[in-house]
Structure 1
């Protein structure tokens, strides 16, 4: 019995080139975008809005979000680059002579792209919302701690609108405060705390400053009912100054979006579903678009490809905005761009193979 291989020599050649190119293009795009975001993150750290420890976490999550965003153009450009090179090196002519037509080329390309589509689906539906929600959570928590980070050794620092006044003699490398003095105002009562050491801890999702080995005096000047006590540890809850954490629509779980009727949330759901669908549509479009003359330049049809992609992406955003405003129906807001792309794909296939070939395909005949 004849042994049929799932991957032929042509499949392995195209798969190897495609995967390498997708990884390279995606890496370049992500590095460029994340580098710009990194400057903004550093500015937030310089302004004291986030701590230096949070920079790495936010940066990693931004890399995840950028990877999801640029997966579609990376795959589209990679298919064009790989197939365009094969046309310029006349490898396509050799394949055509061996009987490998457009249909065989599509099979080889999609053996590589289908796994990429599954990865893009998982990243778009589950990984990206998780990353967006965590970015918002980290920034929210860091803004809560902004007053604490303003505490500096050797000077008085205010926190919670002046209700807490700190003086710290020294702050060690492990962020432990030494020789601490605190004036605490709660309503009409005034208190003073002195301690050998103090450190900020998160307890039960709340932010506390824990004083170690100190004394506490509670009462107002002129009163006789003062409270004096010594302690080994004394925890003081620090009030949040940034309000309630509001999860952005980008951070809402996909399963929750499936049950919504809100147009903005539906638009976000369709945006996530568009990632795998856009890859499939643009790859189908890229195969005939990649055809170039052997004497053409090194970039082939990339200029036209960029124009097509940006037109595709912008029309997708425009139709989504129209859907949010209720100017067009929900189904049309999602499918309009793909119907237009299907029409353009037919034109490209006719351009590649001729009108007679298209008629024969429609009649179910082989070329």
Structure 2
């Protein structure tokens, strides 16, 4: 039966977690949006795919944001209850820390299930969808994305420089085009009245087709250059990569990772599962870490919790690396990180267990 205390803690923790998730999501989405804008400006990503790519990236990040958001939400809520003497009032009514854990279970179980679903199924699905999206739609989008009329646009790390005097309203046809292309030491300069992009239906190669212009080709510093006049000239922009989606290990399904013989695949599966284990471990640590005195400031505990979570992430990365390079046994994997923290949490809970509390009361009641 869910009591009033359970509903109160459930409401407060979910409110705090939602606020922390919102802040973390805004920070990550801003950083991701800036990176994607740079890719659009350099032609690596078409502007039409920007919103979809950003949404898929946030889906990938979301499962990683829930464990720290839940951890710091419990720290904030329970720490505030200690500072406001609410926990003292509850303990005076016979409701101790172990009873609060029952209320935390009502929160952590559904949150852990959602985190596991996101980490094991939704995140790899979003990774595959992102790879397929960029493979299928980017091939039909303009390779020279982010062109600005009236200025020089650099692509391919400066090997291709494009100047366009004006663009049509659909930005698919260019007027008065100047192109400089450097390839294998040779320099090609092309000046044309019009230009547009074309994709070869057979090979998938991308070409910049220029109409009614002049072409100058040669090696800088040498006088033997060639000048040719053309009605139509196709300049290869990028050869086709076969049109296959680039699927990384993080985009593979969890079932494939579990059945794989590769140590890297099994390590990736453990990393996904560690999102749930980390959530459970820090739920165990949250209550003893949030215990504060009524006049004690909240920042000391929060700083210590932040350092502890940073150490946890560092140990998890190190454990994954040690597992891949066979520095630790495969059966040990990265589980030892969560087991170590769980033992620490249980040791921190010992003072609140009924036998230890009875022992403390017995020692205090004895005459000096």
After TM superposition, the score normalised by the length of structure 1 is 0.72
2:5 aligns with: 10
Matches for 1:1-367 after TM superposition, within 5 Å: 6-140=1-135, 142=138, 145=141, 147=143, 149=145, 172-174=168-170, 177=173, 240-243=239-242, 244-299=244-299, 301-352=301-352, 356-357=356-357
Give the Cα–Cα distance (whole angstroms) in 2 for the partners of residues 170 and 255 of structure 1: 52
Q: Quote the offset at 1:259 in angstroms.
A: 0.8
- Distance (whole Å) between structure 2 residues aligned to residue 46 and residue 246 of structure 1: 22
- Give the paired residue count: 318
Following TM superposition, by how much is the alpha carbon of 1:136 offset from its aligned partner in structure 2, in angstroms? 3.2
* 355 and 330 in structure 1: CA distance in 2 versus 1, 3 angstrom threshold: farther
- In structure 2, the CA distance between the partners of 1:152 and 1:311, relative to structure 1 (3 Å rule), is closer
Tell me the distance in 2 between the aligned counterparts of 1:62 and 1:74. 18
| Other structure's SS at 2:327 match | coil
Name the CA distance, whole Å, in 2 between partners of 1:36 and 1:327. 35
In 1, Cα distance between the equivalents of 2:205 and 2:3?
60
Q: How far off its partner does 1:249 sit? A: 0.5
TM-score, with normalisation over the residues of structure 2? Answer: 0.72
Seen in structure 2, the aligned counterparts of structure 1 residues 137 and 359 have a Cα distance that, compared at 3 Å, is farther
How far does residue 88 in structure 1 lie from its aligned partner after superposition?
A: 0.6
Other structure's SS at 2:39 match: helix
C-alpha distance in 2 between matches for 1:22 and 1:358 = 35
**Superposition deviation, residue 25 in structure 1:** 0.7
| Mean Cα deviation higher: 295-304 or 102-111 | 295-304
Residue-by-residue CA offset, 1:236-281 (whole Å, 9 max, x unaligned)? xx98534543311110111211211211111110011111111111
Q: Structure 1 regions of 5+ residues with no counterpart? A: 1-5, 158-167, 180-197, 210-237, 361-367
**Matched residue SS, 1:73:** helix
Paired with 1:82 and 1:290, the residues of 2 have a C-alpha distance of 8
Alignment CA distance shift 1:77-1:270 (3 Å)? same
- What is the root-mean-square deviation of aligned Cα atoms in Å? 4.2
CA–CA separation in structure 1 for the residues paired with 2:308 and 2:342: 13
Q: Against the structure 1 CA distance between its residues 346 and 47, is the aligned structure 2 distance closer, same or farther, given a 3 Å change threshold?
A: same
What CA deviation, in whole Å up to 9, does each residue of 1:107-144 have, x standing for no partner?
Answer: 11110121111110110011111122233334445377
Which residues of structure 2 form unaligned runs of 5+?
Answer: 154-163, 176-195, 208-236, 361-368
Per-residue displacement from partner, 1:171-228 (whole Å, max 9, x unpaired)? 654456599xxxxxxxxxxxxxxxxxx9979999x7999xxxxxxxxxxxxxxxxxxx
Three-state SS of the structure 2 residue aligned to 1:332 is coil
Is the contact between residue 42 and residue 145 of structure 2 (CA under 8 Å) also seen in structure 1? no
Distance 1:317-1:172 versus aligned 2 partners, 3 A rule: same
Question: Relative to 1, partners in 2 of residues 1:91 and 1:202: Cα closer, same or farther, differing over 3 Å?
Answer: farther
